[in-house]
């Protein structure tokens, strides 16, 4: 595994592969790798000649009040995991290489960046879109892989690549879960053993809402109310930021049953913010 | 000359050349081509294996009150000129191909977009940055060529390509002028014969300011005052939007002599907006 820290060297390496007709599959990460990340890496390996992973904790997607400083970092363990997965290139730039003095450019994907998590994390998806565009220009992948757990992020990135005519295929892979259903996340490391047990309620809440839809509860407000109730009944949850049914493309609220829908949740457990989601197909007639 | 109208086809064509190791030199234009544009085309031909020109009047860089509808268009004359210059590819997309339904993404280069023309044309450079990024992703050039007449535009694009790690060399070519010094511009077509004669005052104003700096006038406010006076003495000028000395990198106002400076002007003659600029080197000690 080649470890590259300098953007220009990464770009020259990628160009060398491109002119030889080799495709690069790319998994951008912030490190603290778990089985969710590794599932993306495996998919990238299957579908491309080379697999590149980046580890970069992107400061501009954190607001000043958020956990940039404390975000889990364990480069040695991460490197070991990527070696085992036979990753070809690990791109690991430092902050100054990515944001040198005089940096002034940002990419904004309107509307879908402002909803759901965007309403609670102003500027977050602007930071995500900007760093992902930079990484795409540096790593020059044919395909890039993202986890469905960060559903809104996948919508922002798909919209950006399409709107800016980037010739990159965005693949969204299923959320990888613990046995009790908890979605894998680097931020789960913040949870105490007890909080972690309680956090399984997110998946239970999504599953019950999906089951209700299946069984014929067809009023959106009943679904939403049921979800909110399940989350409020869990004492470890200190705040429910959102929980309900959303349009999977616009991320706007759904008022009527019909078509596909996104069940999505964001809660806080103390200082830790947890999100999860599930895509469901709602039949209008039952 | 290959004429391509579909972004995906342009991109596939460009990729075909790239994998064969051929370099593309790119001149993005809004058409109504004059000798300024053609000087860029000639430079691109000298320095690259292939030359691509785009003609696209970009709606998102015009505000509702501006001249998008009336902007001069003459595709047959333009095509003839490009044929004569032996351009290899003319990319000529329509608006729907560039901005299909659901378009939501914009690129913002802060600070330098807000100054000079940006203060009078809010959103203009956001529209410029966005379309140029799109065109770069579609045409995949190694080098792109812009005229110095639109100096602020060149700064915005240089900053964007650097900040977003685009592997494209931005070359700025000298302003091409009429015999009387008037900078060539597609918008000169809006001027009456009399206005066109009067418009030579912009170049005279810049030249006199440059001469004053050469001759040792070292107070910024004297230079600025002299420029404003020359422009106000020309009855055809109905508004002086700005005229003075600016920092060539930040585009902020200069208060002290020393280093490089940008002499820049924007005026209106009736409904027509005219800009011009000159780069000068100011010596601190004389």
**ipTM over cut 0.90:** yes
Confidence (pLDDT) at A283: 62
Confidence (pLDDT) at A256: 81
* Helix count and strand count (H, E) for chain B: 10, 10
Interface test with B, best of A28, A58, A104 (most B CBs within 10 A): A104
Which residue numbers of B have CB closer than 8 Å to A's CBs? 7, 11, 15, 18-19, 21, 102-112, 129-130, 133-134, 137-138, 159-160, 163-167
pLDDT tens per residue, range A133-162: 999 999 999 999 999 999 999 999 999 999
Interface test with A, best of B118, B137, B142, B160 (most A CBs within 10 A): B137
Which letter does DSSP use for residue A30 in this model?
A: -
**CA A32 – CA A30 distance, rounded (Å):** 7
Helix (H) or strand (E) holding A33: none
Which residues are A64's β-sheet partners?
none
Q: How far apart are the CA of A8 and the nearest CA of chain B, in angstroms? A: 8
Considering only the beta carbons, identify the residue of B105, B112, B163 that sits closest to A109: B105
Is 60 exceeded by the pLDDT of residue A284? Answer: no
- Strand order of the β-sheet with B2-4 is B2-4, B89-91, B50-55, B24-29, B143-147, B169-173
Give the rounded distance of the alpha carbon of A147 from its chain centre. Answer: 5
3-class secondary structure, A213:
helix
- Say if the Cβ atoms of B164 and A110 lie within 8 Å: no
Considering only the beta carbons, identify the residue of A7, A106, A163 that sits closest to B108: A106
Residues of chain A in contact with residue B138, where contact means CB-CB under 8 angstroms, are: 165
The two three-digit tokens of residue B43, written as one number? 């430079």
Phi-psi label, residue B102: left if phi above 0, alpha if psi -120 to 50, beta otherwise: left
**CA A151 – CA B105 distance, rounded (Å):** 18
Give the rounded distance of the alpha carbon of A58 from its chain centre. Answer: 13
Confidence (pLDDT) at A229: 97
Which residues are A240's β-sheet partners?
A267
The average confidence (pLDDT) of chain A is: 96
Q: How far apart are the CA of A162 and the nearest CA of chain B, in angstroms? A: 9
Domains of chain B: 2-173 (3.40.50.620), 186-281 (3.30.1300.10)
Say what the pTM is: 0.97
Q: How confident is the model at residue A286 (pLDDT cuts 50, 70, 90)?
A: very low
Percent helix, strand and coil across chain B, each rounded to 5? 40, 25, 35
- Say if the Cβ atoms of B166 and A104 lie within 8 Å: no
Q: How confident is the model at residue A210 (pLDDT cuts 50, 70, 90)?
A: very high
Residues of chain B in contact with residue A163, where contact means CB-CB under 8 angstroms, are: 103-105, 134
Residues of chain B in contact with residue A18, where contact means CB-CB under 8 angstroms, are: 18-19
**A18-32, A205-219, A237-251, B218-232, range with the lowest pLDDT:** A205-219
What does pLDDT average to in each consecutive run of 10 residues of chain B (286 residues)? 98 96 98 98 98 98 95 97 98 98 97 97 98 98 98 98 98 98 97 97 97 84 95 98 96 87 97 97 59
B17 is catalytic: no
Q: In which residue are the tokens 């951008």 written? A: A28
pLDDT tens per residue, range A266-281: 999 999 999 999 999 8
């Amino acid at each position: 595994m080649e470890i590259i820290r300098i953007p220009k060297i990464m770009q020259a390496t990628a160009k060398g592969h491109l002119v030889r007709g080799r495709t690069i599959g790319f998994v951008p990460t912030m490190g603290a790798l778990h089985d969710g990340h590794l599932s993306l890496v495996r998919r990238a390996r299957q579908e491309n000649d080379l697999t590149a992973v980046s580890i970069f904790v992107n400061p501009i997607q954190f607001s000043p009040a958020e956990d940039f400083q404390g975000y889990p970092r364990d480069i040695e363990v991460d490197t070991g995991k990527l070696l085992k997965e036979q990753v070809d290139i690990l791109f690991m730039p430092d902050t100054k290489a990515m944001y040198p003095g005089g940096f002034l450019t940002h990419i904004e994907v309107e509307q879908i960046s402002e909803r759901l998590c965007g309403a609670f994390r102003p500027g977050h998806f602007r930071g995500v879109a900007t760093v992902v565009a930079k990484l795409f220009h540096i790593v020059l992948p044919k395909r890039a892989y993202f986890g469905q757990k960060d559903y809104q992020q996948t919508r922002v990135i798909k919209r950006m690549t399409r709107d800016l005519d980037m010739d990159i295929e965005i693949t969204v892979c299923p959320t990888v879960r613990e046995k009790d259903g908890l979605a894998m996340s680097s931020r789960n490391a913040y949870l105490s053993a007890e909080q972690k047990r309680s956090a399984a309620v997110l998946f239970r809440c999504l599953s019950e809402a999906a089951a209700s839809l299946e069984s014929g509860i067809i009023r959106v407000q009943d679904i939403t109310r049921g979800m909110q109730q399940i989350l409020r009944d869990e004492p470890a949850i200190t705040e429910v930021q959102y929980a309900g049914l959303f349009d999977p493309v616009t991320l706007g609220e759904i008022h009527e049953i019909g078509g596909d829908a996104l069940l999505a949740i964001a809660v806080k457990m103390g200082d830790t913010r947890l999100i999860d989601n599930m895509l469901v197909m709602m039949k209008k007639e039952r």
